[in-house]
Amino acid sequence: MLEFIQLLKQRYQSVLNQQGNEARRTLYQLRIDQLILAEAFIRKGQLLNSSAVQPLQVAVIGPTQAGKSSLVNVLLHTEAAGVSPLAGYTVHPQGFCHGISLADCHDLPHYFGRFQQLQQSQLSKERYDCYSLTELNSASPYLPHGVLWDTPDFDSIDSATYREGVIRAIALADVLILVVSKEKYADQSVWEMMAFLEVLHQPTVICLNKLTEGSENLLTHSLQEKWRLARSDDFPSVVPLLYETQAGAPLWSVTQTALLQQLAQQVSHKKQARFTQELLQKHWHAWLEPVRAEHQCIADWQILCHEIMQAALDSYQRDFLNHPHHYETFQHALAELLILLEVPYFAGFLAGARKALTWPVRQLMKLSSKRQHITNSSHEVALLKQIAEHTLIQLTDKLLDKAEQHQQNDWWKALNSVLRTQRIHLLTDFSAAANTYHLNFQQDVEQTAQQLYHKLQQQPLVLNTLRATRVTADAAVIAFTLHTGGIGVQALVIAPAMLTVTSMLTESAIGSYMHKVESELKQQQLATVKQSLFIDSLIKQLLALPEQLSTLTYFNISQQSLDAAERQLTDKRHGLRLL
Ligand SMILES: Nc1nc2c(ncn2[C@@H]2O[C@H](COP(=O)(O)OP(=O)(O)OP(=O)(O)O)[C@@H](O)[C@H]2O)c(=O)[nH]1
Ligand SMILES: [Mg+2]
């Protein structure tokens, strides 16, 4: 699951960079934040699983200049955190070990993943994916033992650049301290963040800073209203922080000394796996909306490809297999039959021709050049190539129609450009496959001739009539000329002698057998063309075109990896596997 969330986040990030639509950009940015939170929360689960005892993690969060770093110092009784009147001063998560050692935090680098752990003094504004961890000797009465995190703000203009660090520190926390000042407590960003974090179910306390005397009750009441609007859990304790002018720092109220210790006792990790699952389920549908939209486009594209293949096969049948003048394959089988028959008049001629050729040349002619010549002169091969070209033109038209229909989604337009760049390559491949098919299919043609020849042998009357007819000899010469490259297959089909022999056979006792063999040959031919040309060559490549869409612009997450992630999400028995 972690890998899937990371992949999804990474794809959202690259797609966001290419996204021009402002509303989409805002939406995608929100989803990236949710994914960062989900990823961090899954990592937190892994951290808890990695060893039985983990130090308590407390994070101080809030808008810029609310006094987060100042409060961290107050709670720690030191000046460890940097305080400044400059907005956006703290830009890295900075952890301070209180009552524990650095060694107790040895699992944290794994939790932070690509974020690098540095010493506090090494943190620099040049690089945001870092955090620091500092061991302190101070002992604070307010703070339980554990790590106290000072975090960057989440509301300044620059905060988008270091937001991931804030979210990672927050997801790690067992207890949250929200610091708001009287100027900032009503800000939309504060309450959006609190609503965003509800799924983590962390014990929380709100610190009200920079108070002016007498305003405390009014502000607390207002805070309560804001909380109710943003969250459905109980309103937390509010700690008013009084400002100590002498020290120039807020003062933690004496009455609240034990508050953080009490919150620490409420911490329980029993429901971590369930909360993680709830978090994922809450956003799952929205996160995957663009991925599913792509899958829908792919499904539509598959339908389109199959429709177009059917249309191509229909025209192959209409213009070739079932076309009385164009269908040459069976005629070719008859030509082969004539050669097998060894017609008397023709035999002499054949012998002469054979003698004229040396043996190796004869072999060569038999094996390759004869077949190659037949393929080159084939009307079928030319027609198939034409059909392929026509199919791609039609596909382009359909893609443009789709692009027109779905103007808000430029998937179709992009696919059309991929098709345009691949067009020549697809046609070249198809053309090579058509030649190979045709060459290979000549075996079937020769087999058909053999079949007819055996049948004729069982019909001596027909056989003798054939052999004795002058026109058969003429046809045999034509057939032989085809072999030697003297004519093409089409010339053979329309040669009057061939036509006469064909009708003689059709009207003979083996007429119905001929029809049967011809129709079997056609069926075999259709099945072979469909499989080896349209399915294995053209459609396979067309269906793979969406994979070539840029991963910068598209999610390109396969249905299989989505299904696998979804199974993990919904399989309750394996809820813990999420971690
Ligand atoms: N008047 C008054 N000023 C305060 C109080 N707490 C902090 N400050 C001042 O407010 C400024 C910001 O304090 P920080 O603690 O750096 O605030 P922060 O929330 O960490 O700010 P960023 O790191 O920029 O997000 C500093 O100049 C502090 O001295 C307070 O209670 N009252
Ligand atoms: Mg700060």
pLDDT in tens, 249-299: 777 877 788 889 999 999 988 899 999 999 999 999 999 999 999 999 999
Q: Which of 232, 267, 302 is the last residue of a domain?
A: 267
Distance 174 CA to ligand 1 centre (A): 24
Q: Which ligand is nearest to the CA of 251?
A: 1
Rounded to the nearest angstrom, the distance between the alpha carbon of 82 and the centre of ligand 1 is 10
Q: What pLDDT, on the 0 to 100 scale, is given for residue 43?
A: 95
Residue 5 lies in a domain: no
Regarding whether 373 and 509 lie in a shared domain, the answer is: yes
- pLDDT tier for residue 573 given thresholds of 50, 70 and 90: low
Q: Are 249 and 73 in contact (CB under 8 A)?
A: yes
Lowest mean pLDDT among 309-318, 385-394, 470-479, 528-537: 470-479
Same domain, 447 and 324: yes
Which residues lie with the beta carbon below 6 Å from any ligand 1 atom? 62, 64-70, 83-85, 87-90, 153, 209-210, 241, 243, 248, 250
Distance (Å, whole) CA 59 – CA 231 = 19
pLDDT per position as a tens digit, 29-68: 999 999 999 999 999 999 999 887 899 999 999 999 999 9
- Residue 2 placed within a domain: no
Q: How many domains does the chain have?
A: 2
> Which pLDDT belongs to residue 479?
82
Three-state secondary structure call for residue 35: helix
Q: What residues contact 485, with CB distance under 8 A and at least 6 apart? A: 369, 370, 373
Average pLDDT in the chain = 88
The whole-number pLDDT of residue 357 equals 45
Please compute, for residue 423, the number of CA atoms within 13 A of its CA located in the half-sphere on the CB side.
14
Same domain, 95 and 186: yes
Task: Specify the pLDDT at position 369.
Answer: 63
Determine the distance separating the centroid of ligand 2 and the alpha carbon of 84, expressed in angstroms: 7
What does pTM read for this prediction? Answer: 0.78
What's the CATH number where 140 sits? 3.40.50.300
Question: Is residue 456 within 8 Å of 462, Cβ to Cβ?
Answer: yes
In the reported structure, the alpha carbon of residue 188 is separated from the centroid of ligand 2 by a whole-number distance in angstroms of: 20
For residue 549, CA distances in Å to 15, 68, 88, 98, 355 come to 12, 46, 39, 52, 60
Q: Are 557 and 7 in contact (CB under 8 A)?
A: yes
Q: If you take atom 13 of ligand 1, which residue's CA is the nearest one? A: 67
Q: Which atom of ligand 1 is nearest to the CA of 250?
A: 31
192: which strand partners? none
Same domain, 247 and 308: no
> According to the model, what pLDDT value does residue 344 have?
64
Q: What pLDDT band is residue 349 in, cutting at 50, 70 and 90?
A: low
**Residue 570 — very low, low, confident or very high, per pLDDT cuts 50/70/90?**
confident
pLDDT > 60? residue 363 = no
Q: How confident is the model at residue 364 (pLDDT cuts 50, 70, 90)?
A: very low
Q: What percent of the chain has pLDDT over 70?
A: 93
Ligand 1: nearest atom to the Cα of 242: 31
Residue with CA closest to ligand 1 atom 21: 65
The CB-based long-range contact list for 228-234 (8 Å cut-off, 24+ gap) reads 229/191, 230/191, 230/192, 230/194, 230/195, 230/198, 231/194, 231/195, 231/198, 232/198, 233/198, 233/201
Q: Is residue 553 part of a domain?
A: no
- Rounded to the nearest whole angstrom, what is the distance from the C-alpha of residue 86 to the centroid of ligand 1? 9
Structural domain includes residue 12: no
Residue whose Cα lies nearest atom 30 of ligand 1: it is: 210
Q: Which ligand is nearest to the CA of 63?
A: 1
- Residue 117 confidence (pLDDT): 96
pLDDT of residue 361: 41
377/272: higher pLDDT: 272
Please tell me the least confidently modeled range out of 78-82, 485-489, 508-512. Answer: 485-489
Same-domain pairing of 411 and 527: yes
What band does 517 get if pLDDT is binned at 50, 70 and 90? Answer: very high
Determine the distance separating the centroid of ligand 1 and the alpha carbon of 179, expressed in angstroms. 10
**H, E, C per residue of 344-372:** HHHHHHHHHHHHHCCHHHHHHHHHHHHHH
| Residue 33 placed within a domain | no
* Ligand 1 atom 11, closest CA: 85
Q: Which of 188-202, 329-343, 395-409 has the lowest mean pLDDT?
A: 329-343
Higher pLDDT, 280 or 478: 280
Task: Give the domain extent around 208.
Answer: 54-267
Last residue of a domain, one of 267, 302, 333: 267
pLDDT above 60 (res 575): no
Confidence of residue 360 (pLDDT cuts 50, 70, 90): very low
> How many whole angstroms separate alpha carbon 463 and alpha carbon 469?
10
Q: Given ligand 1 and candidates 78, 83, 123, 128, which is best to mutate, with the most ligand atoms within 8 Å of its CB? A: 83
Same domain (yes/no): 182, 133: yes
Provide the pLDDT for residue 213. Answer: 75
482 and 396 both lie in a single domain: yes
Mean pLDDT of 222-228: 95
Q: What does the alpha-carbon distance between residue 373 and residue 376 come to, in Å, rounded to a whole number?
A: 5
| CA 245 – ligand 1 centroid, Å | 13
Whether residues 407 and 533 fall in one domain: yes
* Model confidence band, residue 350 (pLDDT cutoffs 50, 70, 90): low
Classified as helix, coil or strand, 412 is helix
- In ligand 1, the atom with minimum distance to the C-alpha of 90 is 23
**HEC string of 244-305?**
ECCCCEEECCHHHCCHHHHHHHHCCCCCHHHHHHHHHHHHHHHHCHHHHHHHHHHHHHHHHH
The reply to whether 373 falls in a domain is yes
Q: Indicate if the pLDDT at residue 362 is higher than 50.
A: no
What are the phi and psi torsion angles at 66 (to 5°)? -75, -20
Give the mean model confidence (pLDDT) for residues 178-189.
90
Q: How far is the CA of 172 from the centre of ligand 1 (A)?
A: 24
Q: How many CB atoms lie within 10 A of CB 530?
A: 17
Higher pLDDT, 214 or 145: 145
In terms of domains, do 327 and 261 share one? Answer: no
Identify whether residues 314 and 255 lie together within a single domain: no
Q: Which ligand is located closest to the Cα atom of residue 247?
A: 1
Which atom of ligand 1 lies nearest, measured to the CA of 85? Answer: 27
Task: Let me know whether 165 and 237 are in one domain.
Answer: yes
Mutational pocket test of ligand 1: of 78, 84, 86, 90, the residue with most ligand atoms within 8 Å of the beta carbon: 84
Pocket probe mutation, ligand 1, options 60, 69, 159, max atoms within 8 Å of Cβ: 69
Of the three residues 267, 299, 329, the one that is the final residue of a domain is: 267
The CA distance from 525 to 514, in Å, is: 16
Same domain, 221 and 344: no
520-552 pLDDT per residue, tens: 999 999 999 999 999 999 999 999 999 888 777
Atom of ligand 1 lying closest to residue 82 CA: 16
The reply to whether 31 falls in a domain is no
Of 272-281, 448-457, 493-502, 525-534, least confident by mean pLDDT is 493-502
| Nearest atom within ligand 1 for CA of residue 91 | 23
pLDDT band at residue 221 under the 50/70/90 scheme? very high
Question: Could you tell me if residue 571 is inside a domain?
Answer: no
Residue whose tokens read 């209409």: 318
The confidence score (pLDDT) of residue 574 equals 47
Residue of 65, 73, 75 with the most ligand 1 atoms within 8 Å of its CB, for mutation: 65
d(CA 341, CA 321): 26
Centroid of ligand 2 to alpha carbon of 573 (angstroms): 43
